[in-house]
Amino acid sequence: MMNFDELFDELQKRSNLDRSALLKLIEEKKKKVGAGYLTDRGAIFLVASDLSVSLDQVGTSDLTIKNLYIGANEITIVARVLSVYPIRTYMRRDGSQGYYSRMILFDGDDFTRSVLWDEKANLIETLNINPDIVVRVAKGYVKAGLDGRPVLHVGSRGNIEVIDDEKLISKFLTVDEITKDVSGIKSPTSFVSVRGSVVTEPKLSEFIRKDGGQGSVVLFYMNDIEDDETRRVAIWDSESELISRLKLGSIVRLINVKAKMTSYGEIELHGDAGTFLEVISKEIVPKASPMIFRLLSIGPKQEERRISALLVDSKKRFYTLMARGDACDKILSIEPGNLITCYPKEIIDSKIVCDDDKSIIPKTLDDAIYLKSQSLFLKVKEISNVDTPIFLEAIALSHVRIKDVATKDSLIVKRAEIMIGDETGEIKIIAWRDLTRLFEGISSGDRLRIGGVVPQMSGTELTLLIRPYSSIEKIFR
């Protein structure tokens, strides 16, 4: 972000106020809000808001995946790997044979294809690059793909390196964090990571293509792990070992598939040689085995009596509670901060599913071994080194900005953001889709208590991301 002097100069230019008048407004704002509650930079944002001047986007023009443009050269980006493809050959113009490989990279909600040419294609195997690894692609160039979208190419002048800086790695969403359950795929989209249960025996079929080449497809059906919603899956030209790893009844994750709409209006999932399969171990928790958690925050209620909450256990491990039906009503009756006993229907990774009111019971006695939300409250300047959900108190430094954003699959979704700050610094909070309603009623100058937000990199800027279990409330004092 820009420093105080740079922001001051920008605001002075946009507001047409002289220096002394602007400094006076900043000092008055700091006195009105309260000494020690925000920085000089924070005061500038509040004054800018009063003057109807937006500084939200100032100083954030560094190149990211979403900023890749056709024709760019000498581009260097850092991103997480979604999937890699096996090496393929091609014929050069001089008749000699070359080879290439591909990667799918992502950074939050932004994805791009990357092509590695000739000797650079070997870097995938040499560096042991697999899904979820964070890499730096250096000195690439950008050309239009067959679909007209930017593709990042790595030629003789380019290079790839695996990032081992844990602080940098923690700023990028993981594959697990972007993975959706089967029921979460509602419309056509690409670059999907999906989780579900295999409910039919996989069937391998081989065929001859029009060009005479050999093709294959593995067909099976997946169920949502929480209900009976089913999707047909077709994985084309995958490795032969894939079918041997698909077992009836197992819970799996398919990384890098495309959701397509059939002529009957149903969603199908299609994969290819770049689709990765992970078998997820499923732990069924008997009702005789209760689990105790601290309830940290409760997100907004969703349709069909569903809600998410943030929990922490005695070993300081965070879990997402997915409560539906009567369990949804029960969790809403419990104040965050209390201990609860859960009798989960099932646990998958760090997700706990409860579906009746008897599966969640509040505890009357407290236990200090369980983290309290107070210990998770941070100042803005402390956020950069954190990779777990956090809590903070801050002041809204701008009005909420909500806009419709077109995804790479031409879907229109809502994105909202607001700048907040305290006496140590400023940071932006971002919400997507239905979670934007958490920002309703918030105005510049409001004091906020924010719970269960996750630090993430938005391009090269550290931001806070609203999750389904996040909460925001105004503080009146």
DSSP calls for 44-104: HHHHHHHTT---TTTT-----GGG--TT--SEEEEEEEEEE---EEEE-TTS-EEEEEEEE
Cα three-residue angle 462-463-465, rounded to 5 degrees: 140
pLDDT range class, residue 67, cuts 50, 70, 90: low
pLDDT above 90: percentage of residues in the chain: 39
224-278: per-residue pLDDT in tens? Answer: 876 667 888 999 987 666 777 788 778 899 999 999 987 767 889 999 999 999 8
Q: Can you tell me the mean pLDDT for 417-421?
A: 93
Cα three-residue angle 230-234-240, rounded to 5 degrees: 125
* Other Cβ atoms closer than 10 A to 114: 23
The confidence score (pLDDT) of residue 286 equals 44
Same fold? 179-280, 375-474: yes
Considering the four listed CATH numbers 2.40.50.140, 3.30.380.10, 3.40.190.10, 1.10.10.10, the one that applies to the domain covering 291-362 is 2.40.50.140
In terms of pLDDT, which residue wins out, 417 or 16? 417
For residues 162 and 110, the answer to whether their CB atoms sit within 8 Å is: no
Look at residue 169 and give its three-state secondary structure.
helix
Residue 142 has pLDDT above 80, yes or no: yes
- Share the mean pLDDT of the chain: 85
The confidence score (pLDDT) of residue 63 equals 57
353-364: per-residue pLDDT in tens? Answer: 888 888 899 988
The confidence score (pLDDT) of residue 61 equals 37
Q: Can you tell me the mean pLDDT for 12-20?
A: 85
- What's the CATH code, domain 65-169? 2.40.50.140
- What's the CATH code, domain 179-280? 2.40.50.140
Distance CA 464, CA 390 (A): 9
Considering the four listed CATH numbers 3.40.50.720, 3.30.70.1070, 3.40.630.10, 2.40.50.140, the one that applies to the domain covering 375-474 is 2.40.50.140
Inter-residue long-range contacts of 19-28, CB under 8 Å, 24+ positions, other chains counted:
22/47, 25/50
Distance CA 16, CA 18 (A): 7
Distance CA 145, CA 358 (A): 54
pLDDT above 70: percentage of residues in the chain: 90
Between the ranges 9-13, 328-332, 347-351, where is the mean pLDDT highest?
328-332
The confidence score (pLDDT) of residue 256 equals 94
Residue 192 has pLDDT above 90, yes or no: yes
Both tokens assigned to 335: 């104040």
Q: pTM to 2 decimals?
A: 0.56
For residues 464 and 429, the answer to whether their CB atoms sit within 8 Å is: yes
Q: Name which of 16, 20, 15, 18 is nearest 48 in CA terms.
A: 15
Residue 81 has pLDDT above 80, yes or no: yes
The confidence score (pLDDT) of residue 275 equals 92
For residues 334 and 257, the answer to whether their CB atoms sit within 8 Å is: no
Look at residue 374 and give its three-state secondary structure.
helix
The confidence score (pLDDT) of residue 105 equals 95
For residues 248 and 283, the answer to whether their CB atoms sit within 8 Å is: no
- For the chain, the structural domain boundaries read 4-50, 65-169, 179-280, 291-362, 375-474
